[in-house]
Amino acid sequence: MPEIPELEAIRGFFTEHAAGHRIAAAAVRIPHVFRTPAQEFRELTGDALGPVRRHGKFLLFSLESGRVLAINPMLTGRFQFVAPQTKLRAKTCLVLELEGGHSLRYSDERLMGKLYLVPADGLANIPGWEDNGPDLLDPALTEDEWVARLKKYRGQVKKVLTNAEFVQGIGNAYSDEILWEARINPYTPRTQLSEDGLRRLYRAARAVMEWATPLVRDAMVKDGVLDYEERRDFMRVHRLGGQPCPRCGSAISEISANQRITSFCRTCQPELPA
């Protein structure tokens, strides 16, 4: 599932390479993922792309017409910016042929993503938009605000970090990295964390995103072409069960529950006394 580093890398790439380009043709190939009538997407022809923003796990493509193309790729949504003659991926849902000779594509193996076309002031009409918390990288989310929000939640700390009502943009993979960075066991009840622990989590979350984003971009962008496949071979603990912890050398533990894998170091991230 794309999380902040992947989406930030894609956002930056499209703002640099696609903004200002006019849409020469728009093809809706698999209507299942479109939450706005597919015909409205076909009418994007002639519109022009502007800067791309990100909010939580949404990419927001601004358009010259004043509308926004909002895409939540969910689990298997993938983006491409390739030459028009490049072979289409299976389950390619949307193709925007841009003047200047590039094709912006969205594919989705499980067809779980959600695509909306809304007025610039209509993002609140997207289901759940106003129910969720702030984006992790929102400048208004200060360390003090993070702590105040976090204290409202109970349950295991990893589940809180991945709860979009608390904060948006953190998923299963990067929550493992954040907790490892902060030296906090993922199964620790939030109520057992000290004030220092809550603040370490904030600093770890910001540090992990800053560290990972350029690594992700280097992996997905080659010679001005973006062809996103999920690559996380740079991670320190996530999905590395049995391998040595890069900090202490102990074997990384991996637990699967509820179709979610949690990876952590029992030495660096010990359980707190009950």
**Domain presence at residue 271:** no
Q: Is the pLDDT of residue 258 over 80?
A: no
Q: Are residues 214 and 161 part of one domain?
A: yes
Residue 224: the pLDDT is 78
Q: What is the pTM of this model?
A: 0.93
Q: Are residues 162 and 84 part of one domain?
A: no
Q: Is the pLDDT of residue 272 over 90?
A: no
pLDDT grade, residue 274 (50/70/90)?
Answer: low
Query: Which tokens hold the place of 68?
Result: 């926004």
Q: Are residues 96 and 21 part of one domain?
A: yes
Residue 230: the pLDDT is 72
pLDDT grade, residue 218 (50/70/90)?
Answer: confident
Q: Please state the domain count of the chain.
A: 2
Q: Are residues 17 and 82 part of one domain?
A: yes
Q: Which domain holds residue 179?
A: 143-264
Q: Are residues 251 and 172 part of one domain?
A: yes
Distance CA 19, CA 6 (A): 19
| Span 141-187, pLDDT tens digits | 999 999 999 999 999 999 999 999 999 999 999 999 999 999 999 99
Which CATH number belongs to the domain containing residue 82 in this structure?
3.20.190.10
Which CATH number belongs to the domain containing residue 216 in this structure?
1.10.8.50
Residue 152: the pLDDT is 96
Burial of 55 per CB tally in 10 Å (0-12, 13-18, 19+): buried
**Domain presence at residue 119:** yes
Q: Are residues 150 and 67 part of one domain?
A: no
